[in-house]
A and B are shown apart, each in its own frame.
Chain A
Amino acid sequence: MSQPLLEFRSLVKRFGGVTALDDFSMTLSSGEILGLIGPNGSGKTTSFNVLTGIYKATSGQVFFEGREITNAPARTVYEAGIVRTFQRSRLCLPLSIYDNIMIGDTSRLDQGLWSNLIARGGLNKQLDTSYRLARELVGTFSGHLADRMDQPVGALPMIERRRIEICRALISGPRLLLLDEPSAGMTHDETHQLMDDILAVRARGEGLSIIIVEHEMGVIERITDRCCVLSYGRKIAEGTYAEVAADPEVQNAYLGAD
């Protein structure tokens, strides 16, 4: 069996008296789409935050492509090819769509003082290329938005903002995409469309791996290869959607014991 892309080994995260992640272990293979589900407060977003370096793990380890990245700073995690969206949309509202997407492309952009301020030939080329690529990417999700790349994101409705946030994550051609409740606030159709678009982008690339936190089970059922179910920070089930949906412990966690 080939090396997993991502591995959590007995991750524990405590906040004072609260144990948000309790001995959480899981693996993700390259190219897989994994669903991370569980009731509110079960630690799903916390696992993202620990992975991306926003929180320090209390104990346990994280491995990516065989290398240990436990408690690596956020920048290092990004450079390794892991990107994310946020539960509470975190875009720079006063900035334009193009600006926001370019924030996601840091690894490919030249940040030297000389080339940015004095001899800007290379910068101008990068601007042209990246504008075109950003526009194409946004166009996959919304032709309407692609014509408005210079509009401030703050003027957009929530659903459009989510699309932009996903584009920001995808622009750098990442290895692993972490989606945190991408469909919140969307209708069934909009969610369906969004997932199709994400899969389309994925198909064009080299097998993007995805971990998706979702409450809408239709999405999980449709696009994931496997699921992990969390409850109070502990993994209580793992398997395909059909398997975990039938698991009585999972049902208890969501609905409560009789």
Chain B
Amino acid sequence: MDFGLIAQYVANGILLGTMYALVAVGFTLFFGVLDVIKFSHGDVLMLGTFIGFTAWLGLEAIGVSNPWLQLLGILLCSLGATALIGAAIAKWLVLPLKNAPQLNTLLITLTLGTAIREAVRLFYPNGSNPKAFPALLPDAAIEIGNFSLRADSVILVLAGLGLIGLLNLVINRTRLGLAIRAVAQDEETARIMGINYTLVVLATFALGSGVAAFAGVMNGLYYNEINFGMGLILGLIGFSAAIVGGLGNLYGAILGGFLFAGLQTVGAALLPFASAYKDVFAFAVVIALMAWKPTGLIPERSSDRV
């Protein structure tokens, strides 16, 4: 047994799982609070990452070269911008459509995602080509046998998990989180109890989107490249992860994210001669899971008034 290789797979899987969980958490939050699928989530985080990248270009241009400052700048800009964009979409597109059939919102946000993707491709300078994202994290790697643990992946995973943990704390331990959970359970009662519905919804979208932006930055820092299409596949995987884990449930989203990454890793490991099939394997398992558990692993507790 080549432990080095296994360890490599595992490390990779954990990194991917963190990324997917960051995206899935957004989907599940949006669904919990408004019963909607905001499909533009992936592309919005891509946009945010591009904004962060632009910020970096700006910082470089004005002579700020300290990598940690640059990192801070990127993070602030992309997370901040994504949070704002997410909230804006909620305010002007999703909230007005609250009473339309659910499928409409899914389709509109799906199409919006395409629009954002195309807009970046067309209007960002040289948008259709990948951009070289700076390698701002330390280059170091720890050698354990023939397994090379990159320092940056450790930092990213810890930061990502920390962010998820922070989100968890906000949801479960703060007044805002309480308000979010109240609105998620029963909008009308929450309103009657004096909760500012719109504000809570916007805050939820801002939170979910901002958190997902970190996934985009992670992607950029680790692979040193971003492109206009990265949001699509991240969004699709994040969506699948949130659904498989169980919509509306934060732990379900995290579970789903790591599960999907696990499937990809297992797929790559099991089929070393054809590791490119890992995505085929992962999505096939998703389909099988939906056949087994039509409302996700942690099922949605909904009731249709008859």
Contact = CB atoms under 8 A, between A and B. Distances in A.
Question: Do chains A and B interact in one complex?
Answer: yes
Interface of A: 45, 49, 54, 86-88
Contacts, number: 7
The 5 A-B residue pairs with the shortest CB-CB distance, nearest first, are A49-B306, A54-B306, A86-B306, A88-B305, A45-B306
A45 B305 CA distance: 11
Q: Interface residues of B: mostly helix, strand, loop or mixed?
A: loop
Interface in B271-306: 305-306
7 contacts: A45-B306, A49-B306, A54-B306, A86-B306, A87-B306, A88-B305, A88-B306
Contacts of A88: 305-306
A191 B168 CA distance: 55
Interface residues of B, number: 2
Contacts of A45: 306
Contacts of B305: 88
A86 B306 CA distance: 7
B101 to A, nearest CB: 12
B126 to A, nearest CB: 48
Nearest to A15: B303
Interface string B5-25: 000000000000000000000
A200 B305 CA distance: 32
A211 to B, nearest CB: 16
A242 B305 CA distance: 33
Contacts of A49: 306
Nearest to B304: A54
Contacts of B306: 45, 49, 54, 86-88
B138 to A, nearest CB: 52
Contacts of A87: 306
A49 B303 CA distance: 13
Interface in B132-182: none
A49 B306 CA distance: 8
B145 to A, nearest CB: 52
A88 B305 CA distance: 9
Nearest to B303: A15
Contacts of A86: 306
B32 to A, nearest CB: 19
Nearest to B301: A16
A146 to B, nearest CB: 30
B303 to A, nearest CB: 8
